Amino acid sequence: MTALRSLFQPMAAKHGLGAACFIGVAVFIWVVFLIVLPQISMLDYSFRLNLPKPDIGGPLDVYTLDNYAYFFSGNDGQLNTLDIGILVKTLVAAVFVTLIDILICYPIAYILAHSATGVAARLMVIGLIVPFWVNEILRAFAFRVLFGATGLINSIGMGAGFWDQPIDFIRADVALYSGLTYAYILLMVFPIFNAVEALDRNQIEAARDMGASWWRVHWRVVLPIAKPGIASGATMVFMLTAGALAAPQILGGPSNLWFTQLIYQWFNESANWQRGSAYAVILLLVCIGFVMMLMRVFKVSIGEIGR
């Protein structure tokens, strides 16, 4: 109650009691009804058996760990290397996409915050935002066309003589990684921009006047300030990439299966919501644990990310 009062009173004093009440109620409904209750329902499903409708609520409808045990041991009691391997591959791919986004977005955010001004800054922001007016699924199909056997990249490559035969970018997952990297690029740019923008330019100039090279200026001056923004963007990109479904379905190769596709199969193709819920809970817990571990390694707190 004390924490809620400390948040509510300053908001009411600044924006009025009506605005504070509206925001408080909206946040409460969003958190409770759109996040907490669905997650509790899914967690309850994950401990249930997949029973016919007449048996639901009867003596056979009991809590069990069978759905979680299946993920680890399958039906034969042996290590379920297939599903575990798909989860590991999904996490590794999410880390890879997150690192690519950091490498791309850090210089963009720095230029936007400390180099671009006036019309150039506005054009950069418009160039980043306007393409995302197109639906995510349409953008994924655009990447499939772009990287297809008869797509623009293969046409340019063969026309310029770089290669003789079309390269299967879809099977090699180049299209998938490119599409995922592009899909969440804004979620990386703006948190880094918000953090870097607070940096006093005099600190950069002082470091350069003292003879520091560009990489040393960024390593010792800019990155410590940008670290919370990088952590915030990396958290969002990693979680959304690991939980992506549309892009892997459209851009993934025939032998590439994302863990979210397994969850989709349990829910829709196998009609086993209980096992699908268990797999979804496993993915959620593993992703949260991985993010918390990285925050501890890089010494970034939740409070710093939330600024």
Q: Calculate helix-pair angle for 186-197, 118-129, nearest 10 degrees.
A: 150
Regarding whether 145 and 9 lie in a shared domain, the answer is no
Question: pTM of the prediction?
Answer: 0.86
pLDDT digits (tens, 9 = 90+) for 36-71: 999 999 999 999 988 888 887 788 888 999 999 999
**pLDDT over 70 (residue 24):** yes
21 and 144: one domain? no
Which is it for the CA torsion 216, 293, 35, 266, positive or negative?
positive
Q: How far apart are CA 170 and CA 40, in angstroms?
A: 37
* Two structure tokens written together for 157: 């490559």
What tens digit of pLDDT does each residue of 269-294 get?
Answer: 888 999 999 999 999 999 999 888 88
Task: Quote the pLDDT of residue 306.
Answer: 61
Between residues 12 and 205, the one the model is more confident about:
205
* Same domain assignment for residues 248 and 121: yes
Question: By residue range, what is the domain housing residue 19?
Answer: 1-46
Q: What is the pLDDT of residues 179-188, one digit of tens each?
A: 999 999 999 9
| Shared-domain flag, residues 144 and 236 | yes
Identify which has the larger pLDDT, 208 or 282. 282
Helix, strand, coil abundance in the chain, percent, nearest 5: 75, 0, 25
The per-residue pLDDT for 8 is 60
- Predicted pLDDT at 11: 63
Residue 162 has pLDDT above 90, yes or no: no
What digits encode the pLDDT tens for the residues 89-112? 999 999 999 999 999 999 999 888
State the average pLDDT for the chain.
Answer: 86
CATH number of the domain to which 198 belongs = 1.10.3720.10
**Residue 164 and residue 110 share a domain:** yes
Cα–Cα distances (Å) from 202 to 58, 109, 135, 142, 154, in that order, read 71, 18, 42, 44, 47
User: 6 and 146: one domain?
Assistant: no
Q: Are residues 103 and 201 in the same domain?
A: yes
Total domains in the chain come to 2
